[in-house]
Amino acid sequence: LKPKHTTHPVPCSRPLGACRVVCSGSLSMAYAAVPAASSKLKHERDQLIINENGDTWWLILSPLLCGGCGCGPCQPLVAGEGKICCAEWHQWTEEDVCCGGSGCCFDFEKVCCCVYHSSCPPGGGSEDGVPCCAVCNYRCGADKDEAVQDNIRTQSMAKAFLLFYLGCFGIGVVPDCFPLVMASRKWCCCRAEVYTAGPFSNNKPWCYAYTKLCCVVVRKLFPACGGKEDGLPGCACCGRTLCCPPQERPRASGGAP
């Protein structure tokens, strides 16, 4: 076992658009900084959620329930996004990658300077900065520095002081506390990311959860009537819009049929 030498962080050489930090009361992490996000741009992902809302046959959607449920297209298998105060999440189905450089399954969580990681197969992938085992940052089977992917998750694991890592899971601390909250998860072709963001959005509710699994669509939101451009009607039942129809918007190519 060889000790992992700690080096001082070097300035990021990536363009500002690749990883930008937005300050709005508290430090926030933009969509552009999410590691290994889906290939679609943020506005395209937003439009796909709007398309799903428009294509859903609503069993019930009511302000009294702060949301509702319905039946939508089966593709994609998993899709969704949500926001609670300053924490946002985004989930999607990867179309062409089930394993990749980070392994087929992993769970990375960061709160302040504490990190937790679990993976399958043991030791994660070949580019995630995770060793096969470690004790007090003495690492065995660690990835080479030049092979580690250039994103926040993998770089955090490569630079973390690992208290222990036993094959499939471990914990440690990182020198940088920001972003304050972050998580990254993968289960075969299903991905999810959690990150910090600003407390308010102009076009979306303050708190919401848009989830889709196969053909089951569930929406929870507050305020109860949703945002200005989320594609949700104010109230619907048994496939009929009862009041406050959604605004008509041009549909994105590649959306749900």
User: pLDDT digit string (tens) for 88-146?
Assistant: 999 998 876 677 667 789 999 999 999 999 998 887 777 788 888 999 999 998 777 76
What does the alpha-carbon distance between residue 58 and residue 237 come to, in Å, rounded to a whole number? 6
Both tokens assigned to 153:
């998750």
CA angle (41, 18, 150) in 5-degree steps = 110
Q: For a pLDDT cut of 90, what percent of the chain falls above it?
A: 35
User: pLDDT digit string (tens) for 211-237?
Assistant: 999 999 999 988 776 556 678 888 999
What does the alpha-carbon distance between residue 100 and residue 125 come to, in Å, rounded to a whole number? 7
Report the mean per-residue pLDDT for the chain. 78
Which position has the higher pLDDT, 240 or 251?
A: 240
On whether the CB atoms of residues 213 and 53 are closer than 8 A, the answer is no
Which position has the higher pLDDT, 101 or 86?
A: 86
User: pLDDT digit string (tens) for 173-213?
Assistant: 999 888 888 999 999 889 999 988 887 776 777 888 999 99
Strands (E) in the chain, as ranges, are: 2-3, 21-24, 26-29, 57-62, 67-71, 78-84, 87-93, 105-111, 114-120, 133-135, 138-140, 161-166, 169-173, 181-187, 190-196, 207-213, 216-222, 235-237, 240-243
Q: For a pLDDT cut of 70, what percent of the chain falls above it?
A: 73
| Residue 120: per-residue pLDDT | 87
- pLDDT tier, 28 (very low <50, low <70, confident <90, very high otherwise): very low
Residue 21 has pLDDT above 50, yes or no: no
Compute CA distances 247 → 86, 100, 229, 250, whole Å: 27, 40, 7, 10
Residue 172 has pLDDT above 90, yes or no: yes
| Residue 227: per-residue pLDDT | 56
pTM of the full structure:
0.71
| Residue 222: per-residue pLDDT | 85
The residue among 236, 252, 243 whose CA lies nearest residue 56 is: 236
- pLDDT tier, 40 (very low <50, low <70, confident <90, very high otherwise): low
| Residue 152: per-residue pLDDT | 83
| Residue 249: per-residue pLDDT | 59
On whether the CB atoms of residues 24 and 159 are closer than 8 A, the answer is no
| Residue 67: per-residue pLDDT | 92
170 Cβ neighbours under 8 A, 6+ residues apart: 116, 117, 118, 134, 162, 163, 164
Both tokens assigned to 159:
């630079």
Least confident of 34-38, 75-79, 179-183, 204-208: 34-38
94 Cβ neighbours under 8 A, 6+ residues apart: 38, 189, 190, 191
Q: Which of 5-9, 27-31, 87-91, 201-205 has the highest mean pLDDT?
A: 87-91
On whether the CB atoms of residues 169 and 118 are closer than 8 A, the answer is yes
